[in-house]
Structures are given as structure tokens and as C-alpha cells.
Amino acid sequence: MTDAIVLAIVVPIVAAVLTLLLGLRFDNVGWPMAVLATATQVGLTAVIGAAVLENGRVTYELAGFAPPAGIELVADTLSAPVALLVAVVSLAVLAYARTSGPHGNMFYIVYLLLVGGLAGVTLTGDLFNMYVFLEITGLAAYALVATGDTAKSAIAGLKYLVVGTIGASLFLLGVGYAFLATGTLNMADLAQRLGDVAAYDSRLVLASFALIVAGLAVKVALFPVHSWQPDAYQSSPDSVSIFISALVSTVAAYALGRILFSVFTPAFFDAVPMARTVLVHAAAVSILAGSTLAVLQQDVKRMLAYSSVAQFGMVVAAFAMMNELAAVGGVIHLVGHAIMKGGLFAAAGVIAAFTGARRIDDYAGLAGRAPVVAASFAVLAFAMVGVPPAVGFVGKWYIAFGAIESGTWVVAAVILASTLLTLAYFARIVERMYFRPAERTAAGDSAVGAATDGGEPPVSPGMVAVVVGAAVAAVVLGFFGSGIEAFLDPFLTEVFA
Amino acid sequence: MVDLLLTRYNYIAAFLLIAGGLYMVIGDRNFVKKVIGMNLFQTGIFLFFITAAFVEVDGMTGAPPVITDGVDLYVSPLPHVLILTAIVVGVSLTAVALTLIIRIYREYGTLREDVLREMDTDD
């Protein structure tokens, strides 16, 4: 039963190696192998979820070395939903990538490595192990961004690589400080020794906290250090931007939440109120700046990228407020954002493949030409704004109540302001899709350009299914807000007891 | 102050490398030099870990973490193992970065960030 945890990390990585070997003999082995591996992954994470539901916390000692000396894999009610999310989204994006491309075995090898890295970050219980998996995730993501057909994607990939490496290295330095202060790297062990062996307000612990948070902030793409993210999302192929926008920053934000809740624990924030204040305000700035920058964009994928900066600011603010309601809201928004943003990127990709429209002005009159995709886009957009009963509403609702409960009024106000800004940038698109006739010049030209390029891939039923599925999931998941809270309960009582 | 410089020179060396590397990443216009700066930055962190493993008790310094007869005091082996992994990660990162740089050079014929930005605004 507990073997499922280690298999969830091993299966995609072994599948990647197998694909490499089989690829020497066969040409099109990549996609079937990736489907096989991610389908297995969905099954394994479901088994983990069932085990966690039964026991609350499942652990696995790698190679039989007991923690704290050995590396430990942990699944609890926080990591199990994220692991399931990773598996399901990876499988769904494959349905999209089948026709959309990029084609070829190499793409699927890197794709599987990325799935393995993401599963590793989610399930590890060891700080250094987390660094290694973050770097595996990073390496695969840099390579995937650079698979775009223009040379610009190579520049975006390199930029992402340099900034991402600096972020991960800062994280490593912070882990080093934590190790110096306590002599252990196991998260559960660290949580006990911080505060005991090393005082919370000692310089080593403070430096460790600052460096780890700064490093992960780069990976999550919070406001001042977000600059790699819009380029990376815009210039990567559509299937890659769906996958990366839905999972890579999400898992980094999960890692930040895991470290705040399970390593530093609320006791650290009680001892060092400054840490909380700084983090909450940095996140608030990120929410406002991301939303404002999104309003200013003309390119749809770029706008969606800046929107992510704002949404992740909200998740980080929720985690930093350190109360139960906000934590529930943060997790719901984390999972919900992955589904909504992945779906929006998928919709943008389908629309671009169908009409060649990449800019907001090109979306005029789209509802007449592509009613299903346009409707899904509109549903996902309103879910993102936070119209009930969609999941975007439930997450924000919990976060706002958590903010009011802990007296962090600035976050409550910022959430309201950002909701209005989110409405502003999505309403532009919905208004153009439904209430404006297609402008012959703009949309027509780019459609012709796309046809002569021959670069735009055809639209398959699988691609549309991903968009519609995401829209349905975004609405249906909204009805399970209290269910998610009940599922998270063992984790919350452990952290906030 | 002088005492600090004399006894903690290894930490100071590590942080000079970290700061210098970071400066190269931000300040240098050439992509290859940026990657070299990134390597320096990482190497500084590796040195920091290795120097943190050092053990000294009553003037006796720790031996390398290989069990031999007649030695009681060893340096902590864990950072060495960790950094071995981190070096592998760093090498793969450099390889990916250089691959991307080759692609950029083939496409644009330059590796300077400012020149690339100008080309970008032209079209």
C-alpha cells in the first residue's frame, strides 16, 4: 500500500528512460508510453488518496533507512490532493498534445521527467530531496519551454533557466542554514528542532526562512521576481503552456505552503510576527501588480500569465496568514487555479489553432464561429473572477474570511480590488467574443497568415474535450468546498493544534 | 573584525563567490558570461555547505569522512553527499543552458542581450 508513494515518483521517470530506449527502435512510442505512465500515475495517486483518507498520513522510508538520517516520502491530506491533481492534469494535457504537438519522442521523455519531478516535490518529506526534485522539475520545464518553434522560445527558456536556477540556489542556501541550525533535513524532525535546538529568532533560522521563501517566490513567480514567467508562458507551445501554467508554479506554491506549515509551523510566525507581516504584504503587492499588469496586456497568453502572478499572490497570502480558514482557502484556490488556468490556456490554444487569434482584439465575434470553446472560455473566465458557484469563488471566500478572522484587513481589501481587476481583464474578452461582430481586417488577416504559415495545427476532439472538461470541473469542484475542508481536517488539526 | 576575517575566511570566500556570481548574472550582457556567473554562484553555495561540515574539537580537526584506524574525529559526511548531488544538478543545468545558447546563436548570430532586445523591437 505504501509502495504506491515511491512508485508514483519512479513510474514516470522509468517510463522516460524506457521511452528513450524504445525510441531508438520505434518512431512514435512517446505518446502511448506517456499515456500509459500518467494513467498508472492517476491510479497510484488515487490509491495514495484512499490510504491517506483511511490513515491520515502515509510514509515510506527510501531504501529502508529510517528518518531522520534516511530520506522519507510522506503523503498526508495536503500532499495527496496535489499529487492527484498533478497526475490528472498530466493525463489531460496528453489528450491535448496528441494533435497539437510538439511531436516526437524527445518531447514526451522530457514531459515524463517533469511529471516525475512534480510528483517528487509533492511527496517528499526531506528538504534537500525537495531541492533536487525542484531542480528536476526546473530542468524539464526549461527544456519544454524551449521546444517552441520560434527562436524566441529559446531566449525565454534561457531566461527562465537563469532566474529559476538563482531561485533554486537561494532555496538550497536556505536549506543549508536550516541544516547548520538544527543538523537535520527531515521536515518533521526540523519542525521539532526549530524552536527547541535553535531559537526561532536566532539569526540562522531567520536567514534560512528568508532565503527559502525568497527562492520559492522566484519559482512561484511573485511580483518583483516574476519577470521570467510571462515570456516563458507566451513563447512556449500551447500544450506546454497549459501544463506549466497548471502545475509548475502550483507545485512550487505547494512547496512553500508545506514549508510554512510543516517546517516553520505557526509557532515560528507567533515568535517572529515580522515574517508574517512581510510575507502577507509582499503577496498583497503581488496580487495588485499582477492584476494591473494583466489589464494592460494585449496578447491573451501574456494576460493569462500576469493573471497567474496575482492568483499565486493570493495563495501565498492565504498560507502566510496562518489560520485554518485561510489555509483551506489557499489549498482550494491552488487546486482550482490549476484547473481554471490550465483550461484557459487550453481554450486560448484551441482558439489560436482554429482562427489564428492570439490578441484580444482578434477575439471579436468568436462566439459565432466557435460556440463551444467560446462558452467554455467564458465559464472559466467567470470562475476565475470568482462568480459562485465556481471553485474560484469558494477559494476566495475562504481566504477572505480567514483574512477577516485574523484581522488582516489589507488582504480582504486587496482580494476585493483584484476581483474587480480580474473582471476588468476577462470582461474585455467575453464582451468581444459575444457582443462584437468579427472584424474582417484583424481576425481575417491573422487567420490567413496562419493558413499560409501552415504552422497552426488542426483542432482535434481531444483538445476541445480538455477545454470543456476544465470548464465543467471548475464549476463542479465549487460544490465540494466543504468536502475539501473535511478532507484537509487531519492536516489542519496537526498544524494548528 | 580582523579576528573575524582571519577565522571565518572560508565563509567570506564563499559569499564573495555568491555575490560575484549574482552580479555577473544580473550585470553581464553576454549569455555565456551569465551562465558562468550562475556557475560561480552555485559553487559559492557548494563551498558554504562543505565549509559548514568542518569539525574542530580542542584544536583537533576532523578527518575526511572515510573510516580508518586510529581516527576518532571526522567531518560531517552529509553535506559532502548532498553537494555531490547538487554538483550533478549544476552540471546538467549548465548543459541545458549551453544548448539553448547554441540555438540562440544559430538563430540570431549574437549572444548579447542588448543586441537581441534591439532586434526584437525592430520586427
Share of chain A above pLDDT 70, in %: 96
Interface predicted TM-score (ipTM) of this complex, two decimals: 0.91
Q: What pLDDT, on a 0 to 100 scale, did the predictor assign at position A67? A: 78
The three grid cell numbers given for residue A271, joined into one nine-digit string: 515568535
User: Is B106 exposed, middle or buried, given 0-12, 13-18 or 19+ CB atoms closer than 10 A?
Assistant: exposed
Q: How many CB atoms are located within 10 Å of the residue B26 CB? A: 11
- Give every CB contact of residue A340 below 8 A, 6+ residues apart in sequence: A380, A383, A384, A390, A391, A392, A470, A474
Task: Give bridge partners of residue A126 from the DSSP assignment.
Answer: A186
Classify A60 as helix, strand or coil. Answer: strand
Residue A444 has pLDDT above 50, yes or no: no
Counting every residue written for chain B, the total comes to 123
How does DSSP classify residue A426?
H
Q: What pLDDT, on a 0 to 100 scale, did the predictor assign at position A432? A: 87
Residue B122 has pLDDT above 70, yes or no: no
Classify A186 as helix, strand or coil. Answer: strand
Spatial distance between the Cα atoms of B90 and A233, rounded to a whole number of angstroms = 24
Spatial distance between the Cα atoms of A345 and A189, rounded to a whole number of angstroms = 40
Spatial distance between the Cα atoms of A139 and A123, rounded to a whole number of angstroms = 19
How does DSSP classify residue A226?
-
Q: Tell me how close the Cα of A179 comes to any Cα of chain B, in angstroms.
A: 9
Residues A353 and A431: beta-carbon distance below 8 Å = no
Please check whether residue B108 touches A, CB under 8 A: yes
pLDDT bracket for residue A291 (50, 70, 90): very high
Spatial distance between the Cα atoms of A212 and A170, rounded to a whole number of angstroms = 7
User: Which positions in chain B touch A71 (Cβ < 8 Å)?
Assistant: none
Spatial distance between the Cα atoms of B23 and A86, rounded to a whole number of angstroms = 36
* Strand extents, DSSP E, A23-113: 57-61, 72-76
pLDDT bracket for residue A1 (50, 70, 90): low
Flag if B45 and A180 touch (Cβ within 8 Å). no
pLDDT bracket for residue B121 (50, 70, 90): low
- Give every CB contact of residue A134 below 8 A, 6+ residues apart in sequence: A117, A121, A168, A171, A219, A252, A255
Nearest residue to B103 (alpha-carbon basis) of A146, A102, A139, A105:
A146
pLDDT bracket for residue A445 (50, 70, 90): very low
How does DSSP classify residue A225?
G
Spatial distance between the Cα atoms of A222 and A219, rounded to a whole number of angstroms = 8
Please check whether residue A465 touches B, CB under 8 A: no
Please check whether residue A135 touches B, CB under 8 A: yes
Instruction: Kindly state the average pLDDT of the residues A175-199.
Output: 86
Q: Which among A152, A161, A169 is the nearest to B96, CB-wise?
A: A161
Residue A443 has pLDDT above 50, yes or no: no
Nearest residue to A3 (alpha-carbon basis) of A62, A88, A65:
A62
Q: Which of residues 284-313 of A touch B (CB under 8 A)?
A: none
Q: For an interface test with A, give the residue of B93, B114, B119 to mutate (most A CBs within 10 A).
A: B93
Instruction: Kindly state the average pLDDT of the residues A337-361.
Output: 88
Residue A66 has pLDDT above 70, yes or no: yes
Spatial distance between the Cα atoms of A289 and A310, rounded to a whole number of angstroms = 7
Spatial distance between the Cα atoms of A271 and B15, rounded to a whole number of angstroms = 29
Residue A446 has pLDDT above 70, yes or no: no
Flag if A161 and B100 touch (Cβ within 8 Å). yes
Instruction: Kindly state the average pLDDT of the residues B2-21.
Output: 85
pLDDT bracket for residue A269 (50, 70, 90): confident
**Could you read off the pLDDT of A67-97 as tens digits, one per residue?**
777 888 989 888 999 999 999 999 999 988 8
Residues A88 and A338: beta-carbon distance below 8 Å = no
Residue A39 has pLDDT above 90, yes or no: yes
Average pLDDT over chain A, rounded to an integer: 87
Residue A449 has pLDDT above 60, yes or no: no
User: Which positions in chain B touch A154 (Cβ < 8 Å)?
Assistant: 100, 103-104, 107
Q: How many CB atoms are located within 10 Å of the residue A266 CB? A: 16
Q: What pLDDT, on a 0 to 100 scale, did the predictor assign at position A440? A: 55
Task: Give bridge partners of residue A60 from the DSSP assignment.
Answer: A73
To which H or E segment does residue A193 belong? helix A187-196
Residue A441 has pLDDT above 60, yes or no: no
Nearest residue to B96 (alpha-carbon basis) of A249, A144, A252:
A144
**Could you read off the pLDDT of B12-58 as tens digits, one per residue?**
888 899 999 999 998 888 999 999 999 999 999 999 888 888 877 77
Q: What pLDDT, on a 0 to 100 scale, did the predictor assign at position B1? A: 74
User: Is B20 exposed, middle or buried, given 0-12, 13-18 or 19+ CB atoms closer than 10 A?
Assistant: middle
Pick the residue from chain A with its C-alpha nearest to B33. Answer: A162
Instruction: Kindly state the average pLDDT of the residues B60-86.
Output: 83
Please check whether residue A146 touches B, CB under 8 A: yes
Q: What pLDDT, on a 0 to 100 scale, did the predictor assign at position A457? A: 58
Q: What Rg value do the Cα atoms of chain B yield, rounded?
A: 20
Spatial distance between the Cα atoms of B52 and B15, rounded to a whole number of angstroms = 13
Q: What pLDDT, on a 0 to 100 scale, did the predictor assign at position A439? A: 65
Q: Are strands A72-76 and B56-57 parallel, antiparallel or unpaired?
A: unpaired
Spatial distance between the Cα atoms of A470 and A88, rounded to a whole number of angstroms = 11
Flag if A166 and B34 touch (Cβ within 8 Å). no
pLDDT bracket for residue A231 (50, 70, 90): confident
Residue A121 has pLDDT above 60, yes or no: yes
How does DSSP classify residue A70?
S
Spatial distance between the Cα atoms of A313 and A253, rounded to a whole number of angstroms = 10
Q: What pLDDT, on a 0 to 100 scale, did the predictor assign at position A452? A: 41
Q: Which among B31, B82, B92 is the nearest to A158, CB-wise?
A: B31
The three grid cell numbers given for residue A316, joined into one nine-digit string: 501565498
